[in-house]
Amino acid sequence: MPLVLGIETSCDETAAAVVEDAGGRWSIRSNVVASQADIHREWGGVVPELASRQHVRDICGVVERALADAGVAWDGLDALAVTQGPGLVGSLLVGVSFAKAAAWALDKPLVAVNHLAGHIESIWLEHGPIALPATVLVVSGGHTSLYLVRHEGRYELLGRTRDDAAGEAYDKVAKLLSLGYPGGPIIDTLAALGNDTAIRWPGTRLTNPDRNAPERDGRFDFSFSGLKTAVLRHVRQRQSELGVDQLPQHEIVDLAASFQRRVVETLIDRVFAAARWHGARSIGIAGGVSANSRLRTDALKKSKRSEIPVYIPRLSLSTDNAAMIAAAGIRRLADGHFAPADLNAAASLPL
Ligand code: KG4
Ligand code: ZN
């Protein structure tokens, strides 16, 4: 059975995994992630130069660990898959250079994978084949995009954020409240303690066409910068009313809950509306923000009511990992898409 080594270094996680393709059913033999969150935390966000240097330090150990966990030797691999983009170019280059050198030394095929395709395929990796057509929401720190999948491995863009990604909004709001990094999991935890109707945010209306993609009608686009600004205004106003730098804990948890409610409602409304519009038979939700507890429960509740099955990967496959890159690589291998010897990292690689 083909064994594929996946390598992922697009942002601040150095990851390697071995995935086996057992006749179209994929199984994870190992999945190793070295997170750099502790390094970037003190800066309040990912520092690109520090990220690429840390990838250089970690990549050999992470790959060796993935092979050892899988009980596979280098020559037992059938192919390698690596994230080509999108992401931080210095970070991507570490994975791409490592994978090219290893593939050349081993004389094994290499496939280049789009990071977003990896997130989408994490749904198939977790659940196996799902009913098509499917609408898939990829919601992470860098992206908030909605795709229609009519055929496995083919992704049609239905909508995307015009400004901030949902995860980015989480991270910025957490930074504004001095809560720490990454903000998503912290706000998620605090939101559980607060009143989600405590603050009413202004509505978001997207009536103008997308200047970058005028051919799409934009009805399934997202925007989170207005909400981020509303949070900023609210926080500044309360800080000056109370004469404090840090809001009291009960106000922070109410803000976290109200913010989270708005983000989650927006994401769920849009993905279900797109599913209805396109007659989708299933919905997938992937990417770091799909680890959000409210998004998971609310999407599954709505799934029961609307009778459209919703598929979300387990937490370790929601956030950045290399098993999803190996899975997307297996898909591309089957189509004969091999990477050229001069493969380069591509920071803004389109899907
Ligand atoms: O997919 P991912 O690991 O990396 C990118 O490709 O961006 O996503 C990271 C993003 C971060 O913005 C992080 O704050 C967010 O996912 N995130 C969450 C949760 N866990 C991670 N956002 C909301 N709730 C969570 N539980
Ligand atoms: Zn990601």
Domain boundaries along the sequence of the chain = 3-119+318-334, 131-308
- Ligand 1 near 284 CB (within 6 A): no
103 vs 81: CA distance, rounded Å: 9
**Nearest alpha-carbon partner for 58 in 32, 29, 30:** 32
What is the Å distance from ligand 1's center to 141 Cα? 5
| pLDDT of amino acid 214 | 63
Give the separation between CA 295 and CA 166, rounded to whole angstroms: 12
How many beta carbons lie within 10 A of that of residue 285, not counting itself?
26
Position 209 scores a pLDDT of: 64
Q: Which residue positions in the chain have pLDDT lower than 50?
A: none
Name the token pair of 15: 């990851």
Nearest CA to ligand 1 atom 2: 288
Ligand 1 neighbourhood includes 141 CB (under 6 angstroms):
yes
Rounded CA Rg of the chain: 20
Is-contact 268 303, C-beta < 8 A? no
Bridge partner residues of 20 (DSSP): 3, 27
Which residue's alpha carbon is nearest to atom 1 within ligand 1? 288
Can you give the pLDDT at residue 1?
Answer: 67
Given a contact cutoff of 8 angstroms between Cβ atoms, the answer to whether 294 and 261 are in contact is yes
Ligand 1 atom at shortest distance from the alpha carbon of 171: 14
| 317-302-130 Cα angle (round to 5) | 50
131-308 belongs to which CATH class?
alpha beta
**Strand boundaries in 122-196, DSSP class E:** 134-139, 144-149, 156-160
The number of the ligand nearest the C-alpha atom of 140 reads 1
Which pLDDT belongs to residue 219?
A: 87
Whether the link from the prior residue into 86 is cis, omega within 30° of 0, is yes
Bridge partners for 27 per DSSP? 20
pTM above 0.85, yes or no: yes
With beta carbons less than 8 A apart as the criterion, state whether 327 and 125 touch.
yes
Question: What stretch of H or E contains 34?
Answer: strand 25-35
Q: Which of 31, 116, 170 to mutate to test the pocket of ligand 1 (most atoms within 8 A of CB)?
A: 170
CATH for 3-119+318-334 is 3.30.420.40
Amino acid at 66: A
Nearest-atom index, ligand 1, CA of 140 = 8
Which pLDDT does position 105 carry in this prediction?
Answer: 97
Q: Is the CB of 222 under 6 A from ligand 1?
A: no
